[in-house]
Structures are given as structure tokens and as C-alpha cells.
Amino acid sequence: MNAASMVPVPATAVPHAWRGRIGILGLIAAEISLFGVFVVAYLFYIGKSLNGPYPKDVLDVPVLATICLLSSSISVALGARALRRADVGRSGLWLLVTVLLGGFFLGATAREWHRLIYSAGLTIGTNLFGTTYYPLVGLHASHVIVGLVMLSLCCVLAWTKSLRPPHAERVEMVSWYWHFVDAVWVVVFTVVYVIGR
């Protein structure tokens, strides 16, 4: 046995720094594939509804909500950066801003659904537009909810001073997930409100 070829490694091996990043990218890859199928289904069924209401009659472009969601990508990035620079208070503040912006977006989606269901009479079973619209937008909204839960948790932990600079990597991963949720919205927005209308 060539002793020089053996390198002692401490019993508690330090995980590689890229572990979390590759993990979250793997998750995002799977999520892209999941959304992809719903997007394909939406595109395939555009204009194939046998009866109304049709998208051009009932859909309003959610401009303000979209601006809020997209700008929350900036605030979450600022929050992650502040934590890397050991400024826990500022980090918590930016994360709170992110939660509020995301919460506004979710509220806007809820209002839109309420209007569609009760005023426009569009449900998931009404026609193919309803069948594809609610699952696609709903799948995105459910991802917003998951993101909001994680971000709120970070806010609470920042408030109780449990969030510390060593956690910067993890908050960074939450922010990557949030960027993904935003990016998906760009696709959903294009498909539903631009191409499909």
C-alpha cells in the first residue's frame, strides 16, 4: 500500500459548497419539465373551446401584479446579499418586502379567479379554456405560496435573530427558487395573456 496516496479526511467530511446549488437546480429542472407540460397543453387547446367564455372576453392583463412579482426578484436578491454581508436586519427587511410583493401578486390572482368564477361564469369544467387556464395559473400560484412560506419563515427567523450570516447560502437557495417562480410567470404571462388572448 502506497501510504502517500492516502489522504486522511476528517470524520465529519465538509459537504462540498456546490451541493445546495446543484440540488436546487435539479429541482428547478424538474419543475420546468412539470410546467412545460401544462404550457404545452394550454397552447394546444388555444381556440379549441366549444363554447364561451373565451379568453379575449374575460381576461384582463394583470399589469400591476406582474410588476410586483418581477420586482420581488430584485428585493429577494438584495435580501440574500445583505445576509452575505452579515446585515441581518436589512436582510430581514428586504425579505419582508419580497413577501409583501409576492402576497400582493397572490391576492391579485385570487381576485381575478373570484371575478372569473362569479362574474364571468368560467370554471374548470366550463370549456377547454377554463380547463387549461386554472391548472396552469394555479400551478404557478401554488409555487408562489410555497415560496411565500419559505420567505416568511426566513423573515420570522430574521426577526427572532435566529437567521445568521452562515445561513446566507440557504437563503440564497430560497432566492434562486423565487427567481424561478418569477421566470415561470414570464412564460405563463406570455402564453395566457399575450398569445392566448
Partner 1 sequence: MSVLSRSMTGPEASAERSVVDQLHDWVVTVDHKRLGVMYVVTGLIFLVVAGLEASVMRLQLAWPGLHIVPPETFNRLFTMHGTTMVFLVGIPIVFGFGNYLVPLMIGARDLAFPRLNAFGFWILLFGGLLLHFSVIGGDGLYGAGSAPSVGWFAYAPLTGRAFTPGNATDYWNLAIFVTGIGTIATSINLLTTILAMRGPGMIFGRLPIFVWVMLTVSAMTLVILPPLSAAQIMLMLDRYLGAHFFDTQAGGSAIMWQHFFWFFGHPEVYVLMLPGFGFVSEIIPVFSRKVIFGYTTIVLATVSIGAVALSTWAHHMFTVGMGGPLNSLFALSTMLISVPTGIKIFNWLGTMYGGKLLFRTPMLFCCAFLFQFLCAGLTGIMLSVAPFDWQLSDSYFVVAHFHFVLFGALVFTIFAAIYYWFPKVTGRMLSERLGRWNFWFLVIGFNVTFITMHVQGLLGMPRRVYTYMPDRGWEIWNLITTLGVPFQIVGVLLFVVNVIVSLRRGEPAGPDPWDAWTLEWATTSPPPSYNFEVVPVTTSRRPLWDLKHPDDPDGPHE
Q: In angstroms, what is the minimal distance from the CB of 107 to partner 1?
A: 23
Nearer of residues 120 and 128 to partner 1, judged by Cβ: 128
Q: What is d(CA 123, CA 118) in angstroms, rounded to the nearest whole number?
A: 9
Interaction of residue 34 with partner 1, rule CB under 8 A: yes
Length of the chain: 197
DSSP, residue by residue, 113-148? HHHHHHTS---TTTSHHHHHHHHHHHHHHHHHHHHH
Interaction of residue 22 with partner 1, rule CB under 8 A: yes
Phi, psi of 154 (to 5 degrees): -60, -40
Sign of CA dihedral 16, 20, 26, 32: negative
Interaction of residue 14 with partner 1, rule CB under 8 A: no
| Chain-centroid distance, C-alpha 55 | 24
Q: Binding partner 1 by CB under 8 A: which of 108, 117, 128, 153?
A: 128
Q: Binding partner 1 by CB under 8 A: which of 66, 75, 98, 132?
A: 132
Give the residues lining the site for partner 1 (CB under 8 A). Answer: 1-2, 5-9, 11, 13, 15-16, 18-19, 22-23, 26-27, 29-31, 33-34, 36-38, 41, 44-45, 48-50, 124-125, 127-128, 130-132, 134-135, 139
